[in-house]
Structures are given as structure tokens and as C-alpha cells.
Amino acid sequence: MINLKLIETNFDEFNSKLKAKKVGEDVLKNLLEAYKENKKIKLEIESLQSEQNAKSKKMGEFMKNGDKESANALKTELDSNKTKIATLNESLNESEEKLSLVAAAVPNIIDDDVPLGADEDENVELKKVLEPPRFDFKPLEHWQLAEKNGWIDFATGAKLAGSRFSVLRGQGAKLARALVNYMIDFNSSRGFELVNVPFLVSSNTLFGTGQLPKFADDLYKIDDEDLYLIPTSEVPVTNLYNDEIITENELPIKMTCYSACFRKEAGSAGKDTRGMIRQHQFEKVELVCITKPEQSDKVFDEMVACASDLLSSLGLAHRHMLLCSGDLGFSAAKTIDLEVWLAGQDKYREISSVSNTRDFQARRAKIRFKDGKKNTLCHTLNGSSLAVGRTLIAIMENYQQKDGSIKIPAVLEKYI
């Protein structure tokens, strides 16, 4: 949830940062009006309560002096004020509800160093890591290699569940499992605690990390139950600390988690219809961190380095991309994507996305820490480390041989 105090303290900057994230004028107008209405009612209540306190004190003096006539007249005014306050409190409850509803659909504001831009074409390349492989033959795409090697069965996936589902078989299935175990071990060696969480969560949990109410159409919901399949393990892992107060010396909390992920991909019709790039069900190993505000920049860099070093250990060329304002996710204040080179496609494709949400998710999920005598909102961060299917694809395309066979990166040999 956005910090509504920014509307009052620095509205112009707040407004411009939301516009940079493509928030519409109507949303900003509704937010401002709801905030002003809420504040107006609060001020009216405060004024009446102050008046009530002063008159109550005055009435006490009248009663003490035996001035019953003045006391009775003042009592009438006090009763009238009491009725007005009760009515205004009802209006305040309605106003709070309206403001919360409007604010819940407003994304996080961007960090100052996020480049302004409309879409992914204006993301900024920060650096390249490793050189893409060179071949003395025309490299195949992963779905062609899948057919040759029997690793991925797209037809049976479609038979079982429809489009954008697939079945891994034989060595392909073994390699995917090896990748999961290797990723977990790699992240654990970097200080990330392994957690195992439910793949089904409540609407409150999804609200905490910003998937609801904005992205309901992308989620798979269980009929007649308050349960949804998770779109990413970021959701349950971050919410392990929902509505909790963490002791200061526990922070930063660094976690890694394997999960299946489920997405309708409602906004991606016609994109990546072939192969395994964009699936309704996929596997991912996630990094999630909860920090004090002053720790989050350092931890963000550590998370990016962890995912990047993991790719390097697999011998996969990739690049770091700083997302522009128009390409940032709903909850993110800043994001760096890692894009891996796919030799068959002859291009870089996203394989990891590391985001700092600052206190946006923590405000929604009420994740706080005890800072001396007061409770302070934590910062939360999340990142893929890595998307398993896309890593499998990258190995297939970059380690392919002229005869269509595929080598296995040396670090994975002991896992197979």
C-alpha cells in the first residue's frame, strides 16, 4: 500500500512518480478526492471533540459552583455535539473504507534512480556477463531440441490440460529436478534459509503482496473457497510474517523457496505460443528478504548478485537490465531483470526479476519490526533464482551439439 502521507507532504513528486508508472488521471483524481474527504471528516471530529472536552470542563465548573441553569444549557449543547460526533464517525468509517479501496488499486511509487520510460523498449542495460556461445551450425530452438531428445512433450501437456501446459520426460525431467536442487543448494550457501510453503493461499495473503485486488483475472481461484493457487512463492513466503512484529536483531531475514507457480497469463494472448517460455504452470526457485529500511539497498544488490552468479556458474551468458518506470511491476519500487541468452532464438530473454518493494508490501501485510520503543514498517524484496523452465531452455539452446544432443553443465553432473 502506498504511503498516503506523501499526498500531503509532497503531492507533486508523489503524483509524477505514479504517472511515470502509467497510473491514469482518473485514478489519481479519485485517490486525492478520497484522501481529502477523509481528512476533512477527521478534522471535523477533532474540532468537535476538542469543543466537547472544553465544554465538559466548563460544565464541571458550573456544577461545582451550583449553577444548575448554565450546566443544563451546556448539557444540551454537549448532547448535540455527541450526536454530531457519532454521525461523523459513521461517515469516517465509510470514508476510510472508500479510501482503502481506492488506495489498494494504486501501485508503488518508483525509486529516484529508476529511468523514466513507457515500456520494456526503454529499459536500461547495466552490464553483460559472459559471452554468448558461438556455433559452426545453425542452432535449434528448444522446442525443436525437445522433439529430437524427447525431453518436453507439448502435445501430451495440451491433451491433459490444454494450451500452455507441457510434460517433461526422461532426461528433461531429471535435469529440471537437478536444477531445483542445485539452485536451492547455491542459495543456501549464500545465507538464504530454505522454506517450504503451501501452493494455495487466501485472499488476505494475496492482498498483502499486491496481487489482489488488481490482478484477480490472472489468478486461479478455487470455487466456493477463499483459496487461490499461488502465482509465485513470493506470496506465501513474504506473508510468513503477515501482521507480525519482528525483533530488530532478526533482520535481515533471507529465504529461498521452491514452488510450482500458476498464472492465467490473461494479458499475454498471442505471446510465446510455442515452446515453454510462457506457461500456465511452471516451477521457480525464489528469493525473498525482509529487512530494515537501511538494509534493503545492500540486500537488493546481494540478491541480484546471487541470481547472476548462479547463471554464471551454469555457464549461461546474461545481462542485467534496469527496468524503466513503465515496465515496473505493481508492487516494485525498483527492479533489475536478468536476461539469459538463448542461442536458438538469437536473443536475450528474461529469466529472473529482482525487486525492492520498499515498505509497500509491508504496509499492506502489516510486517513491522521493533525499532527501539516504536514499531516500524519493514522493507520486503523478492527475486527469481531462477525460473526452472527457462533455465532448462537456456541449457538446451546454449549447450546443444551439432547432432542435436545436449551437454550438461559440469556443476549439475552430481545432481543427475
Binding site, by residue number, is 232-234, 263-265, 286, 350-353, 384
Starting at the edge strand that comes first in sequence, how are the strands of the sheet with 367-371 ordered? 244-247, 367-371, 374-377
Q: How far apart are CA 380 and CA 374, in angstroms?
A: 19
Backbone φ and ψ for 191, nearest 5 degrees, come out as: 95, 15
Q: What b/e sequence results for 353-392 when a residue is b if at least 16 CB atoms lie within 10 Å of its CB, and e otherwise?
A: bbbbbbbbbbbbbbbbbeeeeeeebbbbbbbbbbbbbbbb
Asked whether the beta carbons of 176 and 210 are under 8 A apart, the reply is: no
Q: Which residues are annotated as a binding site for ATP?
A: 263-265, 350-353
User: Which residues contact residue 26 at a Cβ distance below 8 angstroms, ignoring those fewer than 6 apart?
Assistant: none
Q: Which helix (H) or strand (E) holds 308?
A: helix 296-313
Contacts (Cβ under 8 Å, ≥6 apart) of 184: 194, 256, 258, 285
Task: Compute the residue count for the chain.
Answer: 416
Using alpha carbons only, what angle is made at residue 354 by residues 249 and 258, rounded to the nearest 5 degrees?
80
Using CA atoms, how far apart are residues 405 and 398, in angstroms rounded to an integer? Answer: 11
Question: Three-state DSSP class for 311?
Answer: helix
The three grid cell numbers given for residue 4, joined into one nine-digit string: 498516503
Q: Annotated binding residues for L-serine, as ranges?
A: 232-234, 286, 384
